[in-house]
Amino acid sequence: MSAGVAHTAVILTDGSLRVWGSNEFGCVNAPKGSFNAVAAGDSHCIGLAMNGSLVGWGKNTSGQCNVPSGSFIAIAAGGMHSAAIKVRDGNAVCWGSNGSGQCNALVGPFTAITAGGWHTAALRSNGTAACWGWNAYGQCSAPSGTMTQVDAGSQHTVGLKSNTTVVCWGSNFQGQCTAPAGPYVRVAAGEQFSVALRSDGRVTAWGLTAGGLSFSPRGAFTQLTAGGAFIAVAGQMDADFDGDGMVTGIDLALLLASWGTPGADIDHDGTTAGGDLAVLLADWIFH
């Protein structure tokens, strides 16, 4: 799954794409076929098909959707540029806007790649991070050490270190680089905030988290992505008793039917009571 400024793209279990949110530039109109990966930029998307080829759709004012030919293993979509890692040699190729050198890829080989507002970051095969492009806030000044994941935001970059702690570099005007202690299993960078998935499936966000970004539903989550001013997670919400991916009146009815028993004990206090109702209603309102 991957989030842009105002849209979210996922790959379903059958390999098909589904995109929702703003369709001002046609991002929701995902192509047919089976895909291995999808990347959402500010207003465009890139898909990695099962055969290794690329497809782009959405806003294309800077050529960010003009995908190169060839076979690739990883993709990324940024503000107005895109990036991919070639199968042949593991090197990166970038296209689209290059006003800050965000398309001047360093030499690999790389295993993962991510694109921010005006910079690009990648993980080398030895686990170290490499960055290129706009570096006004140090977002391309990657720290030493090995990482298992890296994600680029608008003006900062977040990395998941091999020891499960988080390291951030770049703009910290909103505290987006002041990461709380882990351990973590996944990280993501948004516009002016960062978010990480803890080993127990909980979500933690830091930085500019107004408007509900600091709120996380209870549950066990396995994937997350950060958009312009929103977070998307995949997994199971504790309050989603019927398993339809939403918290609705049906879940409320199931909770009330278990009142006084452990049957819908969301807060794990041994019984279903007012605390569980408060959690369910919070999930309902925010999601």
The pLDDT score that the predictor gives to residue 167 is 97
CATH number for the region 239-287 comes to: 1.10.1330.10
CATH number for the region 1-134 comes to: 2.130.10.30
Give 151-162 pLDDT, tens digit per residue.
999 999 999 999
Domain ranges (residues) in the chain = 1-134, 146-237, 239-287
Can you spell out the DSSP letters for 58-97?
Answer: E--TTSTT-PPSS-EEEEEE-SSEEEEEETTT--EEEEE-
The pLDDT score that the predictor gives to residue 39 is 98
Give 83-121 pLDDT, tens digit per residue.
999 999 999 999 999 999 999 999 999 999 999 999 999
pLDDT greater than 90 at residue 74 = yes
Mean pLDDT of the chain: 95
Q: Which two tokens stand for residue 54?
A: 């690329």
Classified as helix, coil or strand, 47 is strand
Give 168-224 pLDDT, tens digit per residue.
999 999 999 999 998 999 999 999 999 999 988 999 999 999 888 888 888 889 999
* Backbone dihedral angles phi then psi of residue 249, each to the nearest 5 degrees: -60, -30
Give 229-271 pLDDT, tens digit per residue.
999 999 988 999 898 888 999 999 999 999 999 988 988 899 9
* Backbone dihedral angles phi then psi of residue 276, each to the nearest 5 degrees: -70, -35
The pLDDT score that the predictor gives to residue 283 is 87
Nearest in space to 172 (alpha carbons), one of 144, 137, 209, 197: 137
What whole-number distance in Å separates Cα of residue 153 and Cα of residue 79? Answer: 9
Fold match between 1-134 and 239-287?
Answer: no
In the chain, the amino acid numbered 61 is T
The pLDDT score that the predictor gives to residue 211 is 84
pLDDT greater than 80 at residue 287 = no
Nearest in space to 1 (alpha carbons), one of 38, 31, 35, 27: 38
